[in-house]
Amino acid sequence: MRIWSRIVGGIYIIMGIFFVFCLLSFFANKEICDSFINFISQNSIKTGIFAIVVLFMGIIWIVNWIDYVYRTKSVSFDNPGGKVKISLKAIEDYITSTISRQIEGIKSIKVKAFVTSKGLETKINLKLISRLNIPETCNNIQELTKSYLQDTIGIERISNIEIYVSNIVGEAETKEDEK
């Protein structure tokens, strides 16, 4: 990611300097502007291909940057030995595995964690088996998640643990999937 960012950043810096130089030249002398327009019209295909390549490089760089920012988001707290940082992805994976092991009747689970000004916010998307008591199961999941985040990971500020049950699967469908 660092090398790619430096390459794309360098290309955009060079292009920016080039365009500033061109605009200053156009302002200083109208003949340069006419010759530049002439050059572009004679090499329109090459210029268009170059512009598309640079545009795609920029788009790819932005997508990679957003992915990098998401992957490196973390929760940090001070420990007697020093600062501790835990990535949100690690917290999401931990909650997913913990809930899957502890609570029976979960067909699938997806966890998203966000850091807000109020603290750590967790959104859990579930697919449950129909025989469960849904309010009790959701309450158990919320309590389990909160206790594990506070006791095991050490996060003190937990703002909200939101659960969304996206599907309730019958037991017959579950047995067919297992076969």
Sequence ranges of the domains in the chain: 2-72, 77-178
Quote the pLDDT of residue 164.
Answer: 93
Quote the pLDDT of residue 125.
Answer: 93
| Cα 14 from Cα 31, distance rounded (Å) | 24
| Cα 91 from Cα 148, distance rounded (Å) | 10
**Quick check: 152 pLDDT over 90?**
no
| Cα 134 from Cα 128, distance rounded (Å) | 8
| Cα 59 from Cα 21, distance rounded (Å) | 25
Quote the pLDDT of residue 173.
Answer: 58
Quote the pLDDT of residue 123.
Answer: 93
> Domain 77-178, what fold?
Alpha-Beta Plaits (3.30.70)
CB–CB of 96/72 below 8 Å? no
* pLDDT tens-digit series, residues 94-141: 899 988 888 888 888 999 988 877 888 899 999 888 887 888 888 999
Burial class (CB in 10 A: 0-12, 13-18, 19+), 129: middle
Helices 30-42 and 2-28, interaxial angle, to 10°?
130
pTM (two decimals): 0.58
* pLDDT tens-digit series, residues 66-106: 777 766 677 777 778 888 888 888 888 989 998 888 888 88
| Cα 123 from Cα 108, distance rounded (Å) | 14
How far is residue 38 CA from its own chain's centroid?
Answer: 45
**Quick check: 59 pLDDT over 80?**
yes
